[in-house]
Amino acid sequence: MTDPIKLSEAEVGKAYEVIKVEGPALIRRRIMDMGIIPGAKIKVLRLAPLLDPIEILVRGVPLSIRRAEAQYIIVRETS
């Protein structure tokens, strides 16, 4: 079992599972409504050319999320 990390620190190409969503109510709810809830699988697809935002795959849908918001998503690497 790997240690939980923030999604903003996740590596490109790796797969993760969401453990917890933190942050202010407004941002947290927005994140969760996009299907990013505990148990959801996330794959980091790529970084934008300027390294922020990051593109992730959630529930088969590619999403762009800023690191500032990604830091509220706590994930664990899955193999």
Partner 1 sequence: MKGTIKLALAGSPNVGKSTIFNALTGGRAWVGNWPGVTVEKKVGVMKLNGYKVEVVDLPGIYSLTAYSIDELIARNFIIEERPDVVVVIVSAINLERSLYLAVSLLELGVNLIVALNMVDLAEREGYVVDVKKLEALLRVPVVPTIAIKGIGIDKLKNIIIQSISNPRRNPAIVDYGDPIEKAISRLCSFMKTHTPEVVHTYHPRWLAIKLLENDRDVVEKVKLLPKGDLLINMANEMRKELESVVGDLEVYMVNQRYAKILEIVDKVVRRVRVKGISVSELLDTVLLDKFLGLPITITSIYLMLYFAYNVSLPLVDLVDALFSSLADYTRLILQDKAPLLASLLADGIITGVGTVLVFTPMIAIFYILVAILEDVGYMARVVFVLDKVLHRFMLPGKAIVPLILGFACNVPAVLSARTIEDENDRKTVIMICPLSTCSARLPVYLIIASAIFGTYAALAITSMYVLSIIFALVIGFLFKSFIFKGPSIGFIMELPPYLMPQSRTVLIKTWERTKRFLTKAGTVILAAAILVWLLSITGPKGLIGPEALEDPALLKASWVGAIGRALQPIFTPMGWDWGATIALFFGFMAKEVVVSTMAMVYGAEETSLGRAILAHFSPLSAYAYMIFVLLYVPCVATMAVIRSEIGLKYAVLTIMYQMVLAYLASLAVMFIGMILGLG
| H or E segment to which residue 36 belongs | none
The nearest distance, CB 46 to partner 1, in angstroms, is 6
> Helix (H, G, I), strand (E, B), or coil: what is residue 46?
strand
Question: In the complex, which residues of this chain contact partner 1 (CB under 8 A)?
Answer: 21, 24-35, 37-40, 46-53, 55, 59-66, 68-69
Beta carbon nearer to partner 1, 5 or 47: 47
Alpha-carbon gap, residue 51 to 36, rounded angstroms: 21
The nearest distance, CB 5 to partner 1, in angstroms, is 19
Structure tokens of 67? Answer: 């690191």
Beta carbon nearer to partner 1, 62 or 78: 62
The nearest distance, CB 45 to partner 1, in angstroms, is 8
CB count within 10 Å of CB 59 equals 11
| H or E segment to which residue 26 belongs | helix 25-33
Beta carbon nearer to partner 1, 9 or 12: 12
